[in-house]
Chain A
Amino acid sequence: MNVSRRKLLRGAAFAVGASLMEACAPAAPAAPTTAPARTSAPAAAPAAAKPGDTIVLAGESLGDNYDPSVSFQGWGHSWINTQTTETLVDSRTGKIAPWLATEWSVSPDGLIWTFKLRPNVKFHDGTPLDADAVVFNYMRQIDEKHPYYLAEAITRGATLVGVQKVEASGPLEVKFTRSRPAGGMLAQISVPWAGLLSPTAIQKLGPDYARQPIGTGPFIFEKGAKGAEASVTANPNYWGGKPTLGRVVIRAIPDLAAVNAALTAGEVDFATFVDFKDLDVFRRNPKLKVEVVEAANYGYVGVNTRAPKLQDVRVRRALAHAIDRKQIIDVVLSGQGGLPGSFVPAPIPGYAKNLENYYPSDPAKAKALLSEAGVTGLSLAIWAPSNGYWPSLAELIQGDLGKVGVTASIEKIDPASFGGRVTEGKHELFVWDASQASADPSEFANSFFLSSNPRAAGRWGFNNKDFDDMVAKQDAEPDEAKRMVIIEQMQKLILDEVPQIMLYNGRFAGVTSTRVQGFKTLPFRHAVYMHDVSLA
């Protein structure tokens, strides 16, 4: 009997222990993300001079390819790019300003753009930033015959649209030749995806160059572990002066409750991927500062117009009418968001206020459109990134679609590979948001919907000649007011064709610990720059 009682107790203890683990499981996702921090801290000690000069940022995901011009791997990931690499032109505040290029000029026909480079700038490996370096970086993205050609560069669709050739016209002067004029040229090459890497490193390191990016930025890449943590250290030879911070650590914490815990415990100094419902709690915390800004961001449902069930535009419009956006804003965003316009987000010039709420929530109309299209018993799959509020948002949409007789299933996908997966074009619907990287109203026209862009085909199967023509027309339009009229027509066309169902205009909340000084939350997701930041 003794033996059996002991066994019994052991069994019970196991059950209790195991179940408690389950009950306490919400804390568990934090474990994998905090674990690497513990192991990396001792290793980092020799690198960091003082204990107080390391800032820890909470990012949502980290990939392992740090070439700025390849597929998006998360914003936490792109913050590594923004600390280590730089572009010719700066637009982080929404205004165009010199950066690695000090001045530029454009030919009267708008086809030839000449940039003068900042002298005495060196990459972290000592390679000088000269005309050859710029030519190497951009030609490998557009010239298929380049020995280091980068087929997966997203720049062709986002930053170098219409650029035919980049060549050196002097030791510190580069010339961009375009096939057609572009109103958004400067904004396009200002985005972080256009960041410049050391050509020597690319040639010497082979495929590994992307694991240790060598740029010109104020911070030098230290190390990175996919999905866990990456760090950069101050560049003592930075042309703009050595940064105050010694080290920046970016920790991937995809779980919003874990971000809340990390902020409250003081384990991270900055987070922008926070649950909006927690903002009041953060505001009441004397150790935290909260800043909410209207963001260059909107949420959407990506619609694969080539999927057999979604080829009929009436079906796509029906889905757009079925969704209750107010409910999404209230429940998922805790009220922090506005009704959507089209693909130009609210703070960007060219935002179409009159197209707001183009598809009001109207289940009856949705049903009518579906029966007009002769569709019954429609079932669709919604893909959602498995982090943040995306699964909840997908579940609300699932409920809305259910009300108009559309059965939806939800598939959750690892956020770091989400961008790649939806570009393969094997999905039906997916939920995500889009964040502009520049203040150019044609940014998403180019990076999303222009038919020559691989994303247009993959994500929504969108190929519209009228749209392409309008993109070219607005690019060539010198009069800004007239250009905006064309851009509004383009926005209406996208709403009518429904390659995306717009859900909301987003807001960003920057939550920092009070010891962080000199940081400002900007409407751009990538714009987390640490050069001027210090810790009190």
Chain B
Amino acid sequence: MSAQQASSSRRTRGRLLRRNKLAVLGAALALLVLVLGLLAPWVTPYDPIELDTPHRLEPPSPAHLLGTDPFGRDIVARLLFGSRTTLLVAVAAVAVALLAGGGLGLVAGFVGGRVERLAVMLIDVLLSFPLLLLAILVAYILGPGIINLALAVGVAQVPTFARLARALTLSMRERDFVTAANALGAPPARVMLRHVLPNIAAPLGVQATSTLALAILSATSLNFLGLGVQPPTPDWGAMVAESKRYIFDRPELSLYPGAAILLTVLALNLAGDGLLDVLGRRDRRAV
């Protein structure tokens, strides 16, 4: 691929991305959530944890824009700090899945033989579990806590990444440049990491982006079920669970965190889909 081709493809990609306004909107929204979460302590003056029961369940007011929760905590503050938990867990989970699953698939595809058969069998077994069920299972075994939550959500996504990485590696293994590297006597580990890995990284990255949305859903679901972060740590899923008691008299308490989850997941899905579109085109042309 010459320099000219590369720059022209980059230009096309940029154009596509711009054309895909929804994708840009999604990316912007996701970025906004991220920034608000990071800047939470400066955005809101309220402590998301300290109980203030005399002021519980207050309606929206200039002081508390969305009112207060059943323990008297500011809902906006809970939502902002909650996004940190939610996003942190989702990103960590995807990292776990990417490293473990991607690594497994890469090695399996590259080494082949018995290792590959074993890995494929493992992936098939894991894939036969519904995603959330697998996450619940792992969360239940590991016990509650934020690190365990990220592990549980991540492990549940391992098979997806492993399968993708293996398929990509298989298509790379027979390429001329790999054969050439092998013929030149490069050690297998070097061929795998320096020649195969960089060429499968982009699709894995796209997969990671779209998995982020799923990871947020899984993490908040586990938190809703009480298998993830424990009180008083703010989290959107846990907030829905806490508001459950008030679903008939104050349904908006559940709707706020629910809407936050909805918008973030939608934003990430839009962004991920746009990215897939762009990279997908390039890959198609490359083939």
Contacts and interface: CB of A to CB of B under 8 A. Distances in A.
Q: Do A and B actually bind? A: yes
A127 B70 CA distance: 55
B266 A15 contact: yes
Contacts of A26: 240, 243-244, 247, 254
B71 A395 contact: yes
A296 B212 CA distance: 51
A7 B22 CA distance: 13
Contacts of A260: 248
B230 A8 contact: no
Interface string A376-396: 000000000010010110111
Contacts of A331: 53, 56, 70-71
Contacts of A281: 248-249
A392 B241 CA distance: 11
Given A23-B261, A391-B231, A399 B71 contact: yes
B256 to A, nearest CB: 9
A332 to B, nearest CB: 10
A27 B258 CA distance: 13
Contacts of A20: 258, 262
Contact of A22 (B245, B249, B261): B261
A410 B273 contact: no
B240 A399 contact: no
A256 B232 contact: no
Interface string B30-61: 00000000000000000000110100100000
Contacts of A35: none
A250 B217 CA distance: 34
Contacts of B247: 26-27, 257
A373 interface: no
A412 interface: yes
Nearest to B224: A25
A380 to B, nearest CB: 13
Contact of B270 (A11, A255, A411): A11
B102 interface: no
**Chain A at the B interface: mostly helix, strand, loop or mixed?**
helix
B240 A8 contact: no
B255 interface: yes
A518 B200 CA distance: 73
Contact of A14 (B221, B242, B269): B269
B240 A19 contact: no
A395 B246 CA distance: 17
Nearest to B22: A8
A29 to B, nearest CB: 8
B259 interface: yes
B226 to A, nearest CB: 5
A15 B258 CA distance: 12
Q: Which of A22, A386, A410 has the most C-beta atoms of chain B within 10 angstroms of its own C-beta?
A: A22
A497 B220 CA distance: 42
B144 interface: yes
Contact of B53 (A8, A255, A327, A409): A327
B265 interface: yes
A19 B217 contact: yes
B244 A8 contact: no
A22 B226 contact: no
B90 interface: no
Contact of B232 (A29, A330, A398, A412): A398
A386 B225 CA distance: 10
Interface string A264-298: 00000000000101100100000000000000000
A16 interface: yes
B106 interface: no
Given A257-B248, A398-B232, A410-B230, A12 B261 contact: no
B116 interface: no
A18 B245 CA distance: 21
A4 interface: yes
Interface string B265-281: 11011101110010000
A12 B266 contact: yes
Interface string A49-63: 000000000000000
B245 A275 contact: yes
A395 B273 contact: no
Interface residues of B, number: 46
Contact of B269 (A15, A257, A394, A411): A15
Nearest to B243: A26
B262 A22 contact: yes
A24 interface: yes
Contacts of A277: 245, 249
B217 A256 contact: no
A16 B262 contact: yes
A8 B273 contact: yes
Contact of B231 (A255, A327, A410): A410
Contacts of A8: 22, 270, 273-274, 277
Nearest to B267: A15
Interface string A409-420: 111100000000
A419 to B, nearest CB: 19
Given A12-B270, A257-B247, A409-B230, A23 B259 contact: yes
Nearest to B237: A22
B104 interface: no
B213 interface: yes
B258 A255 contact: no
B232 A23 contact: no
B269 A11 contact: yes
A411 B230 contact: yes
B232 A399 contact: yes
Interface in A275-329: 275, 277-278, 281, 327
A7 B232 contact: no
Contacts of A399: 50-51, 71, 232
Given A15-B269, A281-B248, A331-B53, A22 B71 contact: no
B262 A19 contact: yes
Nearest to A324: B53
Contacts of B270: 8, 11-12
Given A25-B224, A26-B244, A395 B53 contact: no
Nearest to A255: B244
A256 B70 CA distance: 15
Interface string B183-227: 000000000000000000000000000100100010011001010
Given A26-B243, A27-B247, A392 B70 contact: yes
A261 B243 CA distance: 15
Contacts of A255: 244
A277 B272 CA distance: 44
A392 B210 CA distance: 35
In the A-B complex, the 5 residue pairs with the smallest Cβ-Cβ separation, listed nearest first, are: A23-B258, A19-B262, A399-B51, A26-B244, A26-B247
Given A15-B265, A23-B259, 8 more contacts: A20-B258, A22-B220, A26-B240, A281-B248, A392-B242, A410-B231, A411-B230, A412-B230
13 contacts: A8-B274, A12-B266, A15-B266, A22-B220, A23-B261, A29-B244, A261-B248, A281-B249, A331-B71, A389-B245, A409-B230, A411-B144, A412-B144
